[in-house]
Amino acid sequence: MSKKLASARIKTESSALLKALNDSLPFDKVLYEEDIKGSLAHAAMLADRGIITQEDLRAIKEGLESILEDIRSGKLSLDGGEEDIHMAIEDELTRRVGDAGKRLHTARSRNDQVATDFRLYVQKHNRIIAEMLLSLVETFVGIAEAHTDTLLPGMTHLQHAQPINFGYHMMAYASMFKRDYERFVSAYERNNLSPLGCAALAGTPHPIDRNLTAQSLGFDAPTLNCLDTVSDRDFALEMLFNIATMMMHMSRLSEELILWSSAEFGWIKLSDKHATGSSIMPQKKNPDIPELLRAKTGRVNGNLVALLTVMKGLPLAYNKDMQEDKEGVFDSVQTAELSVAVLDEMLSEMTVNKEAMHRACMVGHLSATDLADYLVREKGMPFRDAYHLTGEIVNFAESLDKDISQLSIEELHKVSGEIDEDVVTLLDNRASMNARASEGGTATERTVEQIEAMREWLRQEASK
């Protein structure tokens, strides 16, 4: 069927192997909504500019609308062996409305057509993912609000470092996903330009109006240079990069959730709805969701690298290599949308074991830095000397099998006479957490400020 439409020069039937390699219909058929939307806008513009008649426009419109309905309802399946979604729909249109259908492709090429369809798809899903990210950030903020006084060991090198609160830890993730959201928004804005009317590569001699089609498709304006436009897949690469970065964040969180739900930590419990069992070990409850989210990150990274590699050596303008742009993007988009939804639901229903987190703070001398800071501040000791004296006190606490926060003033005096009684309260883990009250720090009051700022930002975004 497609041979008739797309190949005036090719007389023999295509080899089945050529078709297996060349046809994109099996995967680009998901673009049918965008393809029809683009064709409707194009036909309306052609009629407006007197390039086709109003009568032809009416026939094309009716035909395309009935095709859309039939695909949606399942009455029309797109597996007629055409090369791609563009040929399949044009073919079907001509079957339905005759000659008017053959006029649709005036002043258009599949090169600007595919660029338009694909951009519409990417922009649509950009909006969907961005919306989901706002909800995810809100979920983090909600958890943070409930835990601004829940102590846990903050870590570096996965070793206990300084006491922080769990709300603060959640706000770190809220900040990461906020940046992801902003990246999606900026990609949307940068790429919201219409490729339609660029034709094969150089524009067209027909008196078209690209502003008209841009406007009716929801783009801000037409693109500047047609040669660039039909060669450009940056919008798809940006989508892949934004998804890869977002999934990288999700993967880091997943790693923590997996650790925290282990018996060694026991800091959180995933709801039974979000855990799976083992086929042989009846006692097991496995964190499959965060494990899969961690793994999906590899897959979306692969999609990004694959398209970067496809594009890297291509001369201008369109090359068939570029047909390889779609499957990875569809896959990453699907993966991203499912992943954010699952993560959001799982976080909303996870339980936090405050006691276990608090207990963990009694290991690792988390407030040691506070003692060193005290010696510097109150005793005028050079920091390096204070650091060494604190080290001695930590060793002493270890010899007693105690955490530094459990030492009495008498015990402290055994190592140094320089220490006053008020140090004991200072070494308390909560006091230590609240002492870090510099801007952006973990102190409860600072965490609350961060939550308020993030809530305000969420309100602003929601009202846009």
Minimum distance from residue 56 beta carbon to ligand ARG (Å): 24
Q: Locate 181 and state its tokens.
A: 């959201």
Q: Please name which of 333, 89, 108 lies closest in space to residue 230, comparing C-alpha atoms.
A: 108
Instruction: Give 101 or 195: the residue with its C-beta nearer to ligand ARG.
Output: 195
Say if residues 44 and 104 touch (Cβ distance below 8 Å): no
Contact residues: ligand ARG, CB under 6 A? 24, 28, 84, 110-111, 114, 318, 320, 322-323
Instruction: Give 149 or 324: the residue with its C-beta nearer to ligand ARG.
Output: 324
323 Cβ contact list (under 8 Å, min separation 6)? 24, 84
Q: Which of 73, 157, 279, 463 is flagged as catalytic?
A: 157
Minimum distance from residue 207 beta carbon to ligand ARG (Å): 24
Minimum distance from residue 83 beta carbon to ligand ARG (Å): 7
Minimum distance from residue 200 beta carbon to ligand ARG (Å): 7
Task: State the DSSP code for 366.
Answer: T
**Alpha-helical regions (H) of 31-151:** 32-48, 54-73, 85-97, 99-103, 110-146
DSSP codes of every residue in 197-239: T-TTTT--SS---HHHHHHHTT-SEE-S-HHHHHH--HHHHHH
Minimum distance from residue 6 beta carbon to ligand ARG (Å): 8
Using the Cα atoms of residue 353, residue 355, residue 359 and residue 361 in order, give the sign of their dihedral: positive
Instruction: Give 10 or 281: the residue with its C-beta nearer to ligand ARG.
Output: 10
Instruction: Give 121 or 140: the residue with its C-beta nearer to ligand ARG.
Output: 121
Is 332 designated active site?
Answer: no
Instruction: Give 24 or 231: the residue with its C-beta nearer to ligand ARG.
Output: 24
Instruction: Give 180 or 325: the residue with its C-beta nearer to ligand ARG.
Output: 325
Q: Which of 15, 186, 278, 408 is flagged as catalytic?
A: 278
Minimum distance from residue 311 beta carbon to ligand ARG (Å): 13
Distances in whole angstroms, Cα of residue 105 to Cα of each of 31, 42, 112, 341: 18, 9, 11, 40
Is 365 designated active site?
Answer: no
What are the two backbone dihedrals, phi and then psi, of residue 261, each rounded to the nearest 5 degrees? -90, 0
Say if residues 457 and 178 touch (Cβ distance below 8 Å): yes
Which active-site residues does the annotation give? 157, 278
